[in-house]
Structure 1
């Protein structure tokens, strides 16, 4: 029977690996000072409840390339990608000024609240900001430490893809930040942000890392890219739609945060493309304001931008689906269910 990358047992093993790793790091941290136990607590709390998509795509790459489904070291290597995701999200929440993540206070807000509760001296906001920066840096360091500890034979080959992944996600984040300083982005420019901020680091590089660990050749790596890029882009477009129209009870974040923050997403770019001069004037005046969330959301829906992005998602899903078929029946059994998980979701 062909193993599946979305096996719940694999996710359980990833969870156990993350907890065990934090337990070992806690011993190191608490020897350096009692306050550092707070960092260990924040780290394990932050990754609780995650979808584990990046570890699962890493495992999928491993399986497609012929890796042993029962090899325990691939769990260690794949789990390391969860620290990379956590690092990016901690910093992302800070840059965006987000109050919540997965229905809980974001890291900078949690440390700010702790400062208040313990009646500490100094600025609670500054303490929260500093703690979040440092925790994000620590989690990025843990990515490499946990990954190397897997000691799989082809770890050096896979590290090249991990290094690219880290560079690309920072590049994507900067493109996103820079995009918010411009009056508008074209659909093509907004899609460039999607590709580097999410598609490559969520799907393509995890697939490459797992496949490289199993000894994949250049042809298979290229075939996985054909699957990954449209799938990763569809994943991020779904994320953008949920950020505007999703149910906060499912997403764990207030609806409309992207609009409130002035993000030049593909949804916004499509709206600017499809609306009239009055609609574009509304975007200029309302995007990036709290009061403008409702009017911009209504415009995105009424001008056809939401429908256009849903069509984009369907088109990208079809492209990825065809690429999976080209890899063969075994790859279809491994990747097919995981691909649906990435784009057919409510959170």
Structure 2
């Protein structure tokens, strides 16, 4: 989606931050050394588009010849921030695998079993390791911003962006978990708020604004790319919801319709309940976990309700908002082109 994702200097910056964690961890005992290695493993294999957004936005405002040292540090901070959220999310969801291999919690469950722990003890150690790993990654993300070679005023603004990203994302995660466990189904507005908070701020708005700040953008330009980033981020999450219900196995990276099998309460489902009747949608989705025939029945209900079309229309509207913002006179052409490139990439993911 973003050419900067292939920049070797970007990967060197991220890997350098992870190497520092590993080096410090190995000096604090074998168990903590293993945690450092697990943290580094958690950051491998991702698309790294958040730090790429930082670098692309920086280049768009500062120009190709600007010194990227500070931007690389901030970009690495956003990748570590993302990894922290992923690790904590796995603990919240009681997941022990990611991308087909044990995650941090899973690795430490295995370590505990190898040392003679029972299943309960292994779960305790695994969860503790996951929580601590996420905490360390959050600390390292803030440390990278604090130590970046920038002036104090810029550092203060960047810290405010990261602070907002952490708090808003945590609010979105809590709302998402609450929606999944309570008897009362959330409103469509509440599911949209949770979707925005979980993804849009830390994945799109803040990285774009961080790169713009580092590139010397003025307040108007920073605001415009931030608003566009919010639209792009919500569109991205809604496309993920569509993929989770209608995407191919290649798109989901696992079985088709994982969100339907797990009865996730997404804006897509909330829209269907408004249109097709709560009881029919709830009954069909409750059965979706039983197998592929029931999954297809649930997909038909969502289609017939018009929910898929409405979510797709909202995605297109959000992307058009970002494309409109991209042509604002306060933005340099390279910044506008970046916003349009990201919008096109998101649209291309719609199943």
TM-score range, shorter chain: 0.7 to 0.9
Counterparts of 2:17 and 2:230, CA distance in 1: 31
Counterparts of 2:247 and 2:95, CA distance in 1: 16
What are the equivalent positions in structure 2 for 1:12-23 lying under 5 Å apart?
12-23=8-19
Q: Secondary structure at the match of 1:7?
A: helix
Which residue of the partner structure matches residue 125 of structure 1? 123
1:107 matched to 2:104 = yes
Q: Secondary structure at the match of 1:49?
A: coil
Alignment match of 1:136 (pick from 128, 134, 137): 134
1:79 positional shift: 1.1
- Gap runs ≥5 in structure 2: none
Whether the 8 Å CA contact 2:196–2:230 is kept in 1: the answer is yes
Which residue of the partner structure matches residue 92 of structure 1? 89
Alignment match of 1:313 (pick from 290, 302, 315): 315
1:324 matched to 2:326 = yes
Counterparts of 2:282 and 2:25, CA distance in 1: 53
Counterparts of 1:48 and 1:325, CA distance in 2: 36
1:9 positional shift: 3.9
Q: Secondary structure at the match of 1:32?
A: coil
1:5 positional shift: 5.5
1:250 positional shift: 4.4
What do the CA deviations read for 1:146-165 (whole angstroms, capped 9, x no partner)? 22232222222211111111
Return closer, same or farther for 1:138/1:119 CA change in 2, 3 Å cut-off. Answer: same
What do the CA deviations read for 1:43-89 (whole angstroms, capped 9, x no partner)? 22111121112112222332343365552221121111011101111
Counterparts of 2:73 and 2:188, CA distance in 1: 38
1:62 matched to 2:58 = yes
What do the CA deviations read for 1:202-230 (whole angstroms, capped 9, x no partner)? 11111122222233322112211231121
Return closer, same or farther for 1:342/1:176 CA change in 2, 3 Å cut-off. Answer: same
1:53 matched to 2:52 = no
1:195 positional shift: 1.5
What are the equivalent positions in structure 2 for 1:266-285 lying under 5 Å apart?
266-276=267-277, 278-282=279-283
What do the CA deviations read for 1:91-117 (whole angstroms, capped 9, x no partner)? 11221233533333333223223333x
Give the alignment's TM-score, normalised by structure 1: 0.88
Q: Secondary structure at the match of 2:290?
A: coil
Which residue of the partner structure matches residue 79 of structure 1? 76
Q: Which runs of 4+ in 1 moved over 6 A?
A: none
Which residue of the partner structure matches residue 195 of structure 1? 196
Which residue of the partner structure matches residue 179 of structure 2? 179
Which residue of the partner structure matches residue 226 of structure 1? 227
Whether the 8 Å CA contact 1:324–1:332 is kept in 2: the answer is yes
Counterparts of 1:34 and 1:268, CA distance in 2: 47
Whether the 8 Å CA contact 1:108–1:129 is kept in 2: the answer is yes
Give the alignment's TM-score, normalised by structure 2: 0.87
Whether the 8 Å CA contact 2:5–2:47 is kept in 1: the answer is no
Which residue of the partner structure matches residue 23 of structure 2? 27
Q: Which has the higher contact order (CA 8 A, sep 6+)?
A: 1
Whether the 8 Å CA contact 2:22–2:40 is kept in 1: the answer is no
How many residue pairs match? The answer is 340
Counterparts of 1:247 and 1:63, CA distance in 2: 35
Whether the 8 Å CA contact 1:5–1:57 is kept in 2: the answer is yes
Return closer, same or farther for 1:159/1:190 CA change in 2, 3 Å cut-off. Answer: same
Return closer, same or farther for 1:281/1:233 CA change in 2, 3 Å cut-off. Answer: closer
Which residue of the partner structure matches residue 342 of structure 2? 338
Counterparts of 1:106 and 1:210, CA distance in 2: 30
Counterparts of 1:335 and 1:308, CA distance in 2: 23
Query: Could you tell which deviates more after superposition, 184-193 or 119-128?
Result: 119-128
Counterparts of 2:16 and 2:350, CA distance in 1: 30
